[in-house]
Amino acid sequence: MDLRKLKTLIDLVSDSNISELEITEAEGKVRIVKTAPVAAGVMTYAQPMMQMPQQAASAAAAAPAAPVVPVETGHVVKSPMVGTFYRANTPGAKSLADVGQQVKVGEALCIIEAMKIMNEIDSDKAGTVTKVLVDNGQAVEYGQPLFIIE
């Protein structure tokens, strides 16, 4: 595998939220795994939990509740790959899909650049675009929601 391509893959993994990437090509196989950095001189160890059931229940009750995330309604168009999200075919051009725009099945919504290849992402449902969930130029992951279509 070309060293420049390998560096690009390493940068892609380090800049995104993915933790592992595996690529198989004719020349061989590359697996890149991102681990959390460990502070120098810090040792971690597991300590067995030795609490009474009442203490555990009161500790759980004292913990703050997780924030409520609003549930999106409508059809969610998700990213089929890891890459960079672009709303238009070229810089400065009109967006392929804007909020309020009617789209048909198979109509291009955005572009995702992966390994210097521009991939058009098409709508898999007809309707109105109600929300664009990703900013132009933002890195996206596989399965990340991109658009909401009603």
* Residue 5 token pair: 């391509």
Note down pLDDT in tens along the chain; length 150 residues.
677 777 787 888 778 887 777 777 777 777 777 776 555 555 555 445 455 555 545 555 555 555 555 556 788 999 999 999 999 988 888 999 999 999 999 999 999 999 888 999 999 999 999 999 999 999 999 999 999 999
Structural domains in the chain, sorted by start: 3-33 (no CATH), 75-149 (2.40.50.100)
pLDDT value of position 54: 54
Q: What share of the chain is helix, strand, coil (3-state, %, to 5)?
A: 15, 30, 55
Distance between CA atoms of residues 131 and 74, nearest Å: 10
pTM: 0.52
How far, CA to CA in Å, does 149 sit from each of 72, 105, 114? 10, 11, 24
* Residue 100 token pair: 């309020």
Residue showing tokens 């929300």: 131
